[in-house]
Structure 1
Amino acid sequence: MWFLPESERVKFKEPFGVLFSDISAALKYLGDSPVYAVGDVVTGNLWRAGIVPKLSVIDGNTMREPCMSTPLLPVRRFEVKNPAGFITEELVYALRNALENPPALVHVIGEEDLAVIPLVRMLPEGSAVLYGQPCKGVVVRIVDSEAKKRADELFSLFVKV
């Protein structure tokens, strides 16, 4: 597994994409991109807007409190453990398996926030990853060569343990 040292976490505070105040504004930006969601609120908002993400990654919480707005999703499910501040091999494996036959949901026991990094690294260009930016809105990252390069840079800050 890989651990993100406290000293590097500040680099993850800025949006890793374009920040929108709400889901409707984000959806206008997406175009026809295949959609992938990280976070309970974003996933719930997409479903309520009639959009089924190819992959949703949730942990049952929002801002470290139980999230009651995530719908029961009728898709294939994977459950993995992933502690806060880590990216586990189990999470990466579940993401890969889920991507083989969408739509799917990865339910993380622990924290899902950092799943954006391996997800951007493994998705095809043209995909859209949406995730929540606490108290600010939703971030959309269209996967392209620059996104993959930045995801690689961010992943290089992790320490293998």
Structure 2
Amino acid sequence: MLRLPEAHRGLFKKPFGTLYASVDELLPRLEGRAVYAVGDVVTHNLLAAGIVPDIAIIDGYTMRIPCTRSPLLQARRLTVKNPPGTITGELEDAIAEVVGHPPGVIFVDGEEDLAVIPLVLAAPDGAAVLYGQPGEGVVLRLVDAAAKQEAASMLSVFVRG
């Protein structure tokens, strides 16, 4: 299991991609791409806009409050444990599985906030990864070599254990 030390939490407050006020603003950027969503609200908003993500990673909460808008997708569902502030091997394995064989929903028992990092690393070039930026909107990260390099750099501040 990888754990994010408290001292490095600030690094993850800034958007890891382009920040949009709403999902509606970025819809044109999603055409022809695999769409991967991290978070209950982003997934719900994509579905409301008529976009069914190829992969959704949710935990049933938004900003630590139970989310009553959890999406009920018709895709295969995997459940994994992932405590707050961590990236477990179980989460990484589930991401690899659904990226290799979409569609899929990963339901996280714990917290899915950091899943965007291993998701970008596992995603094919050209995929669109979306996640919520609390109080600000939605972040879109198009996967390419630079995105993978930045994700690997972010992962380097985690500690094993």
TM-score normalised by length of structure 1: 0.97
1: CA distance, partners of 2:66 / 2:37: 18
Q: Is this contact kept in 2: 1:39–1:58, CA < 8 A? A: yes
Deviates most, 23-32 or 131-140:
23-32
**Structure 1: which 5+ runs fail to align?**
none
Deviations 1:41-96 (A, max 9, x none): 00011111111111100000000000011221111000000000000000001111
Deviates most, 90-99 or 131-140:
90-99
**Structure 2: which 5+ runs fail to align?**
none
Query: Shift of residue 154 of structure 1?
Result: 0.1
Q: Is this contact kept in 1: 2:99–2:122, CA < 8 A? A: no
Q: Is this contact kept in 2: 1:30–1:128, CA < 8 A? A: yes
Deviates most, 95-104 or 1-10:
95-104
RMSD: 0.9
Query: Shift of residue 104 of structure 1?
Result: 0.5
1: CA distance, partners of 2:60 / 2:81: 13
Percent of pairs with identical residues: 54
TM-score normalised by length of structure 2: 0.97
Moved over 6 A (4+): none
Q: Does 1:5 align with 2:5?
A: yes
Aligned length: 161
Code of the residue aligned with 2:115 in structure 1: it is A
1: CA distance, partners of 2:86 / 2:149: 20
Code of the residue aligned with 2:43 in structure 1: it is T
Q: Is this contact kept in 2: 1:21–1:138, CA < 8 A? A: yes
